[in-house]
Amino acid sequence: MNILVINAGSSSLKYQLYNMNDESVLAKGRVERIGMESSILTHEVDDRPEVREVSEILEHTTAVRKVLDMLTNKRFGVLGSIEDIQAVGHRIVHGGESFKQSVLINDEVKLEIKKLFDLAPLHNPAHMMGILAVEANLPNVPQAVVFDTAFHQTMPKSSYLYAIPMVLYNKHKIRRYGFHGTSHDYVSQQAALFLGKPIEELKIVSCHIGNGASCTAIMHGKSYDTSMGMTPLEGLMMGTRSGDLDPAIVPYTIGKEDLTLNEVNSMLNKHSGLMAISGISSDMREIVQAMEDGNESARLAFEMYAYRIRKYIGAYAAAMNGIDVILFTAGVGENSAPLREKVCEGLTFLGIELDTERNKVRSGETRRIAKDGSKVEVLVVPTNEELLIARDTYRLLTTSSESN
């Protein structure tokens, strides 16, 4: 069975095509700048050179059409016809409280996702465009949705409630949801497999450090607490997001700088984090380079970024009464040895001892970076949200057709 996995953003659409017989990736790529003059489709097949096509793609339906054309293209494609796609799986950032697991799409599910537009205005409307675009191009192909929030639905009330009037939760569902759940779920299972221990026996702090970043306390295989909140803005300092801050800063800034609420929201989401403190970039590679060149703002940004991860690790050690494993994943977590070293620097009191040489070894595999004898295991685990989405889609289809 071939499954197309789609992660649709407001102006982008990433895709991966899986052959589920052996879980191999047949092709992958992305469409960027949807709705702008020169949209770019980048398409990759194994060891063949990357294909880039620039054209005007005004909306998601056209983007999906272009992807399907590329997948069936005589020169660059991997499929004889679009009939060779048996299912599509979508990443959906916000599933609210309605979705505790992945589901197949039907009208009711679409309605629920629409109801959540308010809670994730940057993400969910774009995902819906992706779903409708697939429907328009592949009307008879079943689609599944996999939610970033689902894994965190096991959190206890004491983790997910904010200390504000209960009416806000009861009426508007204002609470912590948490994100990157597909990733935290996948990497924690990979860590347990790597260590050869049942996940039910482990207390894991999973640090997903990419463009967006979050830490999750995973107790015995279940999310117990996580750093992102009602939206993906809370918690760690990120590339362009502020993470935790005193909420009183919002009205104060509006008054002092004569800004609108929308402007402050945009400042916190798009113009804060590494970008704001370094004044250089939101990309950790550029921050580390600038720091090595002696740039003090870059050093401060790097130290703040690492310090906040360290604080969450400490908090989650307290929350779970101990830690067995810390793991690093996603773009920064998998690739930045200096960041991992800085995070672990002040944690020896918890029994966390990093091996600085092992930490520097580059590899695409799950690996141990703690010293022999470190009380806590420290691992780097490559994430693969797309594979988990493809697996969930496959499982939903095969189990639902069995029960029919």
Ligand X SMILES: CC(=O)OP(=O)(O)O
Ligand Y SMILES: Nc1ncnc2c1ncn2[C@@H]1O[C@H](COP(=O)(O)OP(=O)(O)O)[C@@H](O)[C@H]1O
**Per CB under 5 A, 210 contacts Mg ion:** yes
Strand arrangement of the beta sheet that strand 51-55 belongs to:
51-55, 39-44, 24-32, 12-19, 2-8, 87-92, 143-147, 103-104
**Per CB under 5 A, 178 contacts Mg ion:** no
Token readout for 308 is 């906040």
Q: Which is nearer to ligand X, 66 or 180 (CB)?
A: 180
Task: Please choose, out of 96-104, 208-216, 295-303, 386-394, the segment that lies near Mg ion by the rule CB under 5 A.
Answer: 208-216
Q: Which is nearer to ligand Y, 76 or 312 (CB)?
A: 312
- CA angle in degrees (0–180, nearest 5) for 156-206-168: 35
334 is in an annotated binding site: yes
CA distance linking residue 221 with residue 33, whole number of Å: 38
Taking the complex as a whole, the smallest distance from the CB of residue 8 to ligand Y amounts, in Å, to 13
Pick what 134 binds: Mg ion, ligand Y, ligand X, none; C-beta below 5 to 8 Å, kind-dependent: none
Annotation says 246 is catalytic:
no
**Per CB under 6 A, 232 contacts ligand X:** yes
The residue ranges of DSSP E strands in 307-388, in sequence order, are 325-329, 367-368, 377-380
Among 46, 148, 258, 355, which one carries the catalytic annotation? Answer: 148
Taking the complex as a whole, the smallest distance from the CB of residue 80 to ligand X amounts, in Å, to 33
Rounded to 10°, the helix 124-137/107-115 angle is 160
**Per CB under 6 A, 269 contacts ligand X:** no
Strand arrangement of the beta sheet that strand 377-380 belongs to:
222-226, 213-219, 203-209, 325-329, 377-380, 367-368
Task: Please choose, out of 27-35, 244-252, 291-299, 329-337, the segment that lies near ligand Y by the rule CB under 6 A.
Answer: 329-337
Residue 90, Cα to own-chain centre: how many angstroms? 13
**Per CB under 6 A, 377 contacts ligand X:** no
CA distance linking residue 65 with residue 81, whole number of Å: 13
284 is in an annotated binding site: yes
Q: Which residues are annotated as a binding site for substrate?
A: 91
Q: Which residues are annotated as a binding site for ATP?
A: 14, 208-212, 283-285, 331-335
Query: Which residues are at the interface with ligand Y (CB under 6 A)?
Result: 210-212, 239, 283-285, 330-332, 335-336
